[in-house]
């Protein structure tokens, strides 16, 4: 069994204003993803699957994938707006991707082993991959209930240049109790506030752990993911900007006793570029890491 790294790289980068997955960040023109892939391969990942949009797949391979194809097996899948379960069609005028849960669903035919999900435009630190690999190696690929995540202190994940979205985690021992996507999160005057899924303004504890979309699953998750996505489409599929988030899927599976999610906290490095103004600080951190 060879655990797989599933990299979500089809995002449009609307707030950042471009395809930040391909933006040079390192001192020698490396992308942020180059650093993540280096960490994952060093930890022991042998298979990498990229979820991309077909329109920039060739450019993505030239700038990222080709550099690593001698170190591991590389595959690509396309996240397409019209890749929907039978009985559903793309609403006229919809241009926004369906969200992270749909991006994972796009890889359903490309993954046969336990796998980790990461964002292409986040740097998670080497510790995250080292912590999660032993969990994957003992997973039963046929058991959808075996899930895990790496969680970060919320204060380590905010941007001084604008609001961010995060999955707020509540734990029961070493397992996830609930995870709820919050939007518009920002620290001001020593307080972190944002909007919950109901649209209510809420305060968040400064020591709260958050999901940065670093998840571990087995391939048995895909049928459950499909069911959740169908439910989402029935509820919000006609909205132009609705998104189906991975945290929502996991939260539902936990409530239905269909999954247990082990949480691996880390104080390791996390950084990303949500806004153009974040780029300078990320570049400085990458210089500290070395190349």
Residue 30 belongs to a domain with what CATH number?
3.90.550.10
CA atoms within 13 A on the CB side of 73: 10
CA distance 285 to 280: 9
Residue 287 vs residues 32, 68, 111: alpha-carbon distances, Å:
12, 21, 34
pLDDT band at 264 (very low <50, low <70, confident <90, very high): very high
Burial class (CB within 10 angstroms; exposed 0-12, middle 13-18, buried 19+) of 283 = middle
User: Does a structural domain hold residue 161?
Assistant: no
pLDDT digits (tens, 9 = 90+) for 187-242: 988 899 999 989 999 999 999 999 999 999 999 999 999 999 999 999 988 899 89
Q: Across residues 92-119, what is the average pLDDT?
A: 94
Within-domain flag for 41: yes
What are the angstrom distances between the C-alpha of 173 and each of 127, 176, 177, 264, 283?
A: 21, 8, 9, 11, 36
Q: Is residue 156 part of a domain?
A: no
Answering whether pTM is above 0.75, one says yes
The arithmetic mean of pLDDT across residues 6-16, rounded, is 71
Residue 65: inside a domain = yes
Share of the chain above pLDDT 90, in %: 67
Q: What is the mean pLDDT of residues 261-285?
A: 88
Residue 182 · residue 202 · CB < 8 Å: yes
Q: What is the pLDDT of residue 153?
A: 95
Q: Which domain range does residue 11 map to? A: 4-149+213-260+269-286
In a domain, 113, yes or no: yes
pLDDT grade, residue 25 (50/70/90)? confident
Q: E strands within 12-159?
A: 47-52, 73-78, 115-119, 122-123, 146-153
The domain total for the chain is: 1
* Terminal alpha carbon distance of the chain: 30
pLDDT value at 156 more than 80: yes
Q: Tell me if 69 is assigned to some domain.
A: yes
Has residue 104 been placed in a domain? yes
Residue 9: inside a domain: yes
What are 68-78's pLDDT values in tens digits? 999 999 999 99
């Amino acid at each position: 069994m060879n655990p797989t790294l599933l990299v979500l790289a089809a995002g449009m980068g609307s707030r950042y204003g471009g395809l930040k997955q391909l933006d040079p960040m390192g001192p020698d023109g490396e992308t942020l993803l180059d650093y993540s892939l280096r960490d994952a391969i060093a930890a022991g990942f042998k298979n990498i699957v990229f979820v991309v949009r077909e329109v920039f797949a060739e450019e993505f391979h030239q700038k990222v994938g080709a550099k690593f194809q001698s170190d591991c097996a590389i595959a690509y899948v396309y996240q397409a707006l019209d890749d929907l379960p039978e009985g559903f069609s793309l609403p006229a005028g919809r241009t926004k991707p369906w969200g992270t849960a749909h991006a994972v669903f796009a890889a359903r035919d490309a993954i046969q082993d336990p796998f980790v999900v990461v964002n292409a435009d986040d740097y998670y630190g080497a510790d995250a991959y080292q912590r999660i690999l032993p969990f994957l190696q003992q997973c039963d690929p046929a058991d959808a209930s075996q899930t895990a995540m790496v969680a970060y202190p919320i204060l380590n994940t905010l941007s001084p240049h604008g609001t961010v979205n995060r999955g707020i985690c509540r734990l029961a021992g070493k397992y996830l109790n609930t995870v709820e996507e919050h939007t518009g999160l920002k620290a001001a005057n020593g307080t972190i506030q944002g909007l919950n899924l109901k649209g209510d303004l809420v305060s968040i504890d400064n020591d709260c752990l958050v999901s940065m979309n670093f998840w571990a699953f087995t391939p048995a998750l895909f049928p459950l993911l499909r069911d959740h996505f169908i439910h989402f489409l029935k509820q919000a599929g006609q909205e132009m900007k609705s998104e189906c988030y991975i945290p929502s899927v996991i939260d539902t599976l936990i409530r239905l006793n269909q999954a247990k999610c082990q949480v691996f906290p880390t104080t390791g490095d996390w950084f990303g570029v949500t806004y153009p103004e974040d780029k300078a600080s990320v570049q400085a951190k990458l210089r500290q890491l070395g190349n």
